[in-house]
């Protein structure tokens, strides 16, 4: 199932796009769900990080598409964005938010279907595993493969990513351990859940990740080392 958000304050355009998507889905045998929004501010306010593609008008009354896309990108770096616009020069600004493409009004089906096909192809290339957490500015979608380790600190958890950190209160370590077990995460002590992919080595009673030494508890040591050995022995897959 492909989920597409249509964000356009012109009801006629929104309905036309919806019909074009239905026509495309029927011709290709794809399952596509569409949800429509009448303005950028409404979309940003209710954004739930579950869309594969966003088709967004550039010029809207309350919040323009570029502004809305910038806010979306802060939470969702991978969703495919295609802008809808009357003038090509507006679409150039799409590069600021890593937009895939743009569609010029009036919209013709053949051109639209080609761009939609490209957008769907892009979502397949970007297939990743995500976990959604509650962060400072609302929901945040984290790429599981970019999580180095998770630390329990007081009453919150801190996700140590390859590039930055995200604190959250929205999930427990036990719940995370269950969710992430299939992605080769393992508890090395009560307060740390580590991604075995990022373990650079073992020094005495510590796992080394990104130069940081994380204690392996006495009770967890044998099981942790066995899990790490199996992971490396299976080609880190």
What is the average per-residue pLDDT within 141-157? 92
Over the chain, what is the mean pLDDT?
Answer: 89
pLDDT over 80 at 112, yes or no: yes
CB of 143 closer than 8 Å to CB of 126: no
pLDDT band of residue 93 (cuts 50, 70, 90) is low
- The alpha-carbon radius of gyration of the chain (Å, integer) is 22
The whole-angstrom separation of Cα 1 and Cα 4 is 10
pLDDT of residue 204: 87
Q: Which domains does the chain have, with CATH numbers?
A: 2-125 (3.40.50.2300), 130-233 (2.40.50.1020)
pLDDT of residue 91: 59
Rounded to 10 deg, the angle between the 109-125 and 11-28 helix axes is 70
CB of 57 closer than 8 Å to CB of 102: no
More reliable by pLDDT, 176 or 141: 176
pLDDT over 90 at 68, yes or no: yes
pLDDT over 60 at 235, yes or no: no
Q: What are phi and psi for residue 138, nearest 5 degrees?
A: 105, -155
Q: Tokens at residue 117, please?
A: 């096909």
CB of 227 closer than 8 Å to CB of 193: no
């Amino acid at each position: 199932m492909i989920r597409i958000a249509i964000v356009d304050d012109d009801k006629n355009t929104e309905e036309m796009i919806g019909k074009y998507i239905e026509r495309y889905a029927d011709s290709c045998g794809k399952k596509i769900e569409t949800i429509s929004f009448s303005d950028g501010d409404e979309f940003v306010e209710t954004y739930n990080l579950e869309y594969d593609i966003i088709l967004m008008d550039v010029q809207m009354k309350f919040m323009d598409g570029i502004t809305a896309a910038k806010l979306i990108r802060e939470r969702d770096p991978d969703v495919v964005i295609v802008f809808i616009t009357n003038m090509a020069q507006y679409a150039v600004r799409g590069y600021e938010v890593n937009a895939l493409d743009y569609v010029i009004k009036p919209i013709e089906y053949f051109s639209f279907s080609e761009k939609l096909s490209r957008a769907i192809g892009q979502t397949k290339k970007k297939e990743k595993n995500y976990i959604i957490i509650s962060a400072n500015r609302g929901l945040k979608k984290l790429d599981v493969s970019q999580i180095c380790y998770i630390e329990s600190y007081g009453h919150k958890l801190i996700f140590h990513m390859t590039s930055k950190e995200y604190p959250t209160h929205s999930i427990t370590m036990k719940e995370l351990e269950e969710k992430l077990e299939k992605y080769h995460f393992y508890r090395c002590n009560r307060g740390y859940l580590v991604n075995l992919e990022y373990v650079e080595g073992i020094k005495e009673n510590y796992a080394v990740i990104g130069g940081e030494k994380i204690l392996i508890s006495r009770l967890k040591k044998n099981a942790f080392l066995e899990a790490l050995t199996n992971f490396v022995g299976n080609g880190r897959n």
